[in-house]
């Protein structure tokens, strides 16, 4: 029978380091991209079923979000950082938001994208300011997605049409949900 050995790996005894703000940004962005993917997947599913006109646009958005997810996944993997604790919550919440908004109709779908991307772009701008001096690699990852996210916001805004009780309600719920998962992920 082999003798029992005790690990002397110093990493096991090192104090747990608090992740840097850059690391938390990367993790929350990675989780957010997963949330966005799930929103669009659900909206495309229902949109195809209901014959929505903007399914092809949502498919474009989805392709961008998959690329964004891969960008952040690559940076996290290179740094040996685990995904955000809100990753699954983003996925489940995103899918639910996608289903509900798609069932409410195309204006609700576009209001959802406008709300998500408005919140996301505000956070990305904040991140870029902080990362510019502290973490060039993380800055480059964030900078690489900004143009797509602004495009999603603007293309959706053009299609929302006149604001109504429905679009205002959708935007309030979606903006609050997005802010909440970002807040939770950054803690």
- Report d(CA 71, CA 145) in Å as an integer: 9
| Least distance (Å) between residue 35 CB and Fe ion | 9
The pair of three-digit structure tokens given for residue 28, joined into one six-digit string: 């929350």
Altogether, the residues listed in the chain come to a count of 187
Q: Which is nearer to Fe ion, 46 or 124 (CB)?
A: 124
Please, which of residues 134-173 interact with Fe ion by CB under 5 A?
A: 149, 152
- Report d(CA 28, CA 32) in Å as an integer: 6
Q: Does 68 bind Fe ion (CB under 5 A)?
A: yes
Q: Does 106 bind Fe ion (CB under 5 A)?
A: no
The crossing angle, in degrees rounded to 10, of helices 55-78 and 136-160 is 170
* Rg of the Cα atoms in the chain: 19
Q: Which is nearer to Fe ion, 106 or 149 (CB)?
A: 149
Q: Does 65 bind Fe ion (CB under 5 A)?
A: yes
The crossing angle, in degrees rounded to 10, of helices 106-134 and 87-104 is 150
Which part of the chain contacts Fe ion (CB under 5 A), choosing from 5-13, 19-27, 39-47, 66-74? 66-74
Question: Is 93 within 8 Å of 47 (Cβ atoms)?
Answer: no
Q: How many residues contact Fe ion, by CB under 5 A?
A: 5
Q: Which is nearer to Fe ion, 11 or 182 (CB)?
A: 182
Residue nearest to Fe ion (CB): 68
| Least distance (Å) between residue 92 CB and Fe ion | 18
Instruction: Using CB under 5 A, list all residues that contact Fe ion.
Output: 33, 65, 68, 149, 152
């Amino acid at each position: 029978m082999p003798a029992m050995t005790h690990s002397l790996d110093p990493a096991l005894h090192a104090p747990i380091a608090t992740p840097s703000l850059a690391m938390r940004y990367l993790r929350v962005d990675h989780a957010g991209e997963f949330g966005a993917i799930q929103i669009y997947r659900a909206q495309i599913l229902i949109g195809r079923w209901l014959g929505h006109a903007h399914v092809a646009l949502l498919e474009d958005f989805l392709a961008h979000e998959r690329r964004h997810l891969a960008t952040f996944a690559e940076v996290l993997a290179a740094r040996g950082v685990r995904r955000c604790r809100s990753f699954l919550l983003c996925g489940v919440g995103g899918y639910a938001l996608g289903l509900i908004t798609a069932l409410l109709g195309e204006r609700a779908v576009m209001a959802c994208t406008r709300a998500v991307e408005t919140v996301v772009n505000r956070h990305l701008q904040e991140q870029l300011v902080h990362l510019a001096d502290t973490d060039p690699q993380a800055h480059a990852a964030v900078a690489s997605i900004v143009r797509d996210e602004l495009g999603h916001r603007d293309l959706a805004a053009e299609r929302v049409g006149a604001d109504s009780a429905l679009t205002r309600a959708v935007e309030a719920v979606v903006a609050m949900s997005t802010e909440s998962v970002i807040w939770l992920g950054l803690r």
